[in-house]
Amino acid sequence: MSKRIYNKLNVGDLFTVPSSDGGYYVGQIIYKWDDISNVFVYFFDLDRIPSESLPDSFDVTQCEVILGSFITVENLIKNWKIIGNQSYVEHPVLEKVERIKAGNLNGAETIGGGLVAKFLDTYFGVLDIDSWPDPAFVLSCFIKEMKK
């Protein structure tokens, strides 16, 4: 990953993740490390948007966080689209980032970026929870109870 590309990403950047049914989910970069090519992101309890652009009145601070995850910059840049930048809201899930920054990986588990779209599809009912080998694990990853 070139530093030039990595440096184009900013804390607060909003991005879209395609759903398997043609809509998009919204995520936001919350923390960016200087020495590794990963970012920590939030995903929001926001119904799928129909295109890769947000309504003019969209305010991410009014949305609930449903998932926090470490994402490789390559995954974000290659598969998802940056669509804006807004301030973010502090959330207890940021304790995971603080543990990593302090060099303590214990208790800092999150799901990886490669499965994020499937996790979001499951949360929003596009993908059946029973299609997962371990539905209990999937349910345990969400910060907020999954939609029915």
Map the chain to HEC letters. CCHHHHCCCCCCEEEEEECCCCCEEEEEEEEECCCCCEEEEEEECCCCECCCCCCCCCCHHHCCEEEEEEEEHHHHHHHCEEEEECCCCCCHHHHHHHHHHCCCCCCCCCECHHHHHHHHHHHCCCCCHHHCCCHHHHHHHCCCCCCC
83-108 pLDDT tens trace: 889 988 777 666 666 666 665 544 44
Q: Which residue has the higher pLDDT, 122 or 92?
A: 122
Q: Please give the pLDDT value at position 105.
A: 47
- Give me the residues paired with residue 14 across strands: 28, 84
CA distance 45 to 144: 8
pLDDT band at 116 (very low <50, low <70, confident <90, very high): confident
pLDDT digits (tens, 9 = 90+) for 21-30: 888 889 999 8
pTM of the model: 0.82
